[in-house]
Amino acid sequence: MYYDILINEMDEEIKLDEIDEKIIERLQEDSRKSFVEIAKELGVSDPTIHVRVKKLQEAGVIEKFTAVLAPAKVEKGVAAFIEINVKPNAIEEVIKNLEKLDEVLEIHETFGEYDIIAKIRARSNEDLRDLVVRKIRTIPNIVNTKVTTVLKTRKEKQLKITPE
């Protein structure tokens, strides 16, 4: 069984088979899991896992292996989304400035009322206010912003490979 997946922003199609999908699932569950363990679980050889993971990385399907942090445990417990309107033809410049801020976790260019939506995190409400007022709103070419503070995150997941 094969699944079509789009690779990053290249719009280049790659075929993933059931083994690729299962490897990805195992790594998403625990990226520290050894290739030997994954091979045993899937009934294939260890070199098969090594080769396939390398190909998935080279194709851009797997971008990186990372640790997922608990924000409250690392003193970044306040989350918010900031919607931003920018002056015409200035979106790239604004995005480059947002990318420089460690507190900005995600940046999305959007259609609709706002040009950009960004997910931000701060230590406290006071730090969130400082981030918005002193760092974000002072970025050149921002016309206006709207901040929505997250009370409680009910679901937050990584993208999963799912069959059609």
Q: Does residue 164 fall inside a structural domain? A: no
Secondary structure of 11-73 as H, E, C letters: CEEEEEEHHHHHHHHHHHHCCCCCHHHHHHHHCCCHHHHHHHHHHHHHCCCCCCCCCCCCHHH
Residues 6+ apart with CB under 8 A from 69: 76
- CATH for 91: 3.30.70.920
45 and 87 in a single domain? The answer is: no
pTM here is 0.61
Can you read off the two tokens belonging to residue 155? 């679901």
Predicted confidence (pLDDT) per residue in 115-157, tens digit = 999 999 998 999 999 999 999 999 999 999 999 999 888 887 7
7 and 53 in a single domain? The answer is: yes
- CATH for 51: 1.10.10.10
The angle at the Cα of 44, spanning 40 to 47, to the nearest 5 degrees, equals 100
Q: Rounded to an integer, what distance in angstroms lies between the CA atom of residue 28 and that of residue 26? A: 5
Q: Which domain holds residue 42?
A: 2-58
Q: Does residue 128 fall inside a structural domain? A: yes
Can you read off the two tokens belonging to residue 36? 């030997």
Predicted confidence (pLDDT) per residue in 39-48, tens digit = 999 999 999 9
25 and 51 in a single domain? The answer is: yes
133 and 77 in a single domain? The answer is: yes
pLDDT of 3 over the 60 cut: no
Q: Does residue 158 fall inside a structural domain? A: no
Helices 18-29 and 46-58 meet at what angle, rounded to 10? 90
